[in-house]
Amino acid sequence: MLKVPEHQVAGHLAIDGKLGPLVDDSGRFYKPLQGDGRGNKELAFYESFSSDTRVPDHIRKYFPVCYGSQLLEASNGSGLLHHLVLQDIVSSHRNPSIMDVKIGSRTWYPEASDNYIQKCLEKDRRTTTVSLGFRIAGLQLYGGKESGYWRPGRKEVQSFTVYNVRSILRRFVSSNSSIGNENSDCSFAPSIYGGSAGILEQLLELKAWFEDQTIYHFHSCSLLILFDKESVSKGSASVPEIKLIDFAHVVEGKGVIDHNFLGGLCSLIKFVSEVLSDSKESSIKDCVESEKPGICTDNGNCQ
Amino acid sequence: MLKVPEHQVAGHLAIDGKLGPLVDDSGRFYKPLQGDGRGNKELAFYESFSSDTRVPDHIRKYFPVCYGSQLLEASNGSGLLHHLVLQDIVSSHRNPSIMDVKIGSRTWYPEASDNYIQKCLEKDRRTTTVSLGFRIAGLQLYGGKESGYWRPGRKEVQSFTVYNVRSILRRFVSSNSSIGNENSDCSFAPSIYGGSAGILEQLLELKAWFEDQTIYHFHSCSLLILFDKESVSKGSASVPEIKLIDFAHVVEGKGVIDHNFLGGLCSLIKFVSEVLSDSKESSIKDCVESEKPGICTDNGNCQ
């Protein structure tokens, strides 16, 4: 019944005899508890988080549901291993476009060892983590039945520059997002990034919480952004989703806000806002240029 | 005519034959151009900033006016040296309480040398920079005619913990702020931190700009917070002031927000808000406890 997740865009994959997460058909995601205490730290976070009444419901929905832990045959054949049992976020989407964005201008935390800090710092400087306050850790773009998915390899993702990130945030919501296409039309930006249930509004809701909450500091944690391009194309009401994942390095906030996460989140918000306002401007321009008696609506669509 | 500034709380002092800034009686502050290019970088920043039409007026007021540079006798007797000529922010205050808060969870920037980065990182970890997103770099509290100023030494300031910072942000707006007094009354919080022209509103105005501006990244830059306790005690309309200073490490934003500064600023805002709301709560409590027919006003004063 258990199988390798079809749409995993970052982290260790359960292929070629390696250890990785598994999914079942009932919408559950089984994540092997990582060694060196990290797995137990993530389990402890989920336990603390689910019973913490200070977390409001409108924030809780940004976290996967956790169903505890379970002993399962590990994907690498090493025998029984404890797995975190989580909601499989992707299972409700048919052909999801997914972006895994690791938030923060540092992935290390003061309590960590010098070795760990230097290792993280080196990677944070090599990627866009330091410069942007976030880095793309993985992604897949659905291009349609013919072209299928574009899923860049780990090395390519790790070499993304600020320029690449900006370009990918545009391609993510474009109808012409196949490989190598630099002239993204951003035609899905108004419906995916914009609108009252869009990605931007969800990011702003999270931001408001991070300006205030001093319970947790989320180091090396990712925002998963996902939506179904086909249902958007067909005009059906698919709501784009955001989920926070990967909590092996969460520490107590001790009365201080998570300024590292918040700063990176604000940087991502600025990038997403820019794609959205560019797409509105170009829609208005198209209306004017085509000399149609078009009305440019608030969400940038020409009617 | 030139003299050593009376109220300098951080940086190199022009005493004992050392190089430091000087002031005159007309309200100007002369800052020697630091060697190794830093002085020229700061001058270049002021020149670029003063002519940049993208900076709105309501933000420009948070920066000292710059009157260019001037050759002057250096305070260390080394002869003529170029000095930045700036507005002396402190000159309009009689007995100013001042706090110099270095903003950001890192003081280094990606373009810097490995050596410089390691040196900064070490200090950022040793102080509250990494944990809080800011550190107090210097301060003086005016305690009244008898007790005069409390101005902790450089070593003491550098050893401030999160606990100390929280306590100092309270003492800064307390009437009983003399040395060693831990039970700060925060009686000036409503008039200094609160109100429409108070510190919190000014910080929020800056924050809104930092959420949007992608022109500059302000590394190792300080917020100077200052006010006149005596004029507050006497009920005269002294407006607390905020100024950004120290721009030797400003680099171009290149289309990315200054998420490092913004995160730290939000952390400071949270601390200031907490002092303010604590002071309101304790005022209300005082009113109730004293069983006076008191009315607790919005700014937390009992009438």
Instruction: Work out the minimum CA distance from B175 to partner chain A, whole angstroms.
Output: 25
> Who has greater pLDDT, B66 or A94?
B66
pLDDT band at A42 (very low <50, low <70, confident <90, very high): very high
Contact B266 A211 (CB under 8 A): yes
Domain A93-279 has CATH 3.30.470.160: yes
pLDDT band at B177 (very low <50, low <70, confident <90, very high): low
Contact A287, A294 (CB under 8 A): yes
Q: Is the pLDDT of residue B224 over 50?
A: yes
* Average pLDDT value over all residues in chain A: 90
Alpha carbon distance, N-terminus to C-terminus of chain B: 48
B139: nearest Cα among B121, B165, B104? B165
Contact B133 A259 (CB under 8 A): yes
Q: Is the pLDDT of residue A55 over 60?
A: yes
Angle between helices B259-289 and B199-210 (to 10 degrees): 150
The domain locations on chain B are 1-91, 93-279
Instruction: Work out the minimum CA distance from A157 to partner chain B, whole angstroms.
Output: 20
* Average pLDDT value over all residues in chain B: 90
Enter the pTM of the model: 0.92
B290's CB contacts (< 8 A; 6+ apart) are B302
CA distance A145 to A230: 10
Chain B residues with CB-CB distance to A254 below 8 A = 162
β-sheet bridge partners, residue A98? A140, A226
Residues written for chain A: 303
A125: nearest Cα among A135, A138, A111, A116? A135
A76: nearest Cα among A142, A133, A19? A19
pLDDT at site A235:
61
Angle between helices A199-210 and A259-289 (to 10 degrees): 150
ipTM above 0.85, yes or no: yes
pLDDT one-digit tens code per residue, B247-295:
999 999 999 999 999 999 999 999 999 999 988 887 766 655 554 444 4
Lowest mean pLDDT across A13-17, A54-58, B126-130, B201-205? A13-17
CA distance A39 to A21: 12
From the list B131, B254, B260, the residue facing A263 with the nearest CB is B260
pLDDT one-digit tens code per residue, A113-162:
999 999 999 999 999 999 999 999 999 999 888 888 999 999 999 999 99
**What is the CATH number assigned to the segment(s) B1-91?**
3.30.200
Contact A214, B270 (CB under 8 A): yes
Q: Could you tell me how many CB contacts below 8 A there are between chain A and chain B?
A: 81
Q: Per DSSP, which regions of B127-187 are E strands?
A: 134-142, 149-150
CA distance B112 to B122: 15
From the list B130, B131, B259, the residue facing A133 with the nearest CB is B259
A7's CB contacts (< 8 A; 6+ apart) are A90, A93, A96, A98, A140
Lowest mean pLDDT across A131-135, A233-237, A255-259, B187-191? A233-237
Q: Is the pLDDT of residue A302 over 50?
A: no
B30's CB contacts (< 8 A; 6+ apart) are B2, B21, B22, B23, B24, B70, B72, B83, B84, B85, B86
> Who has greater pLDDT, A264 or A297?
A264
B100: nearest Cα among B204, B10, B198, B4? B10
Residues written for chain B: 303
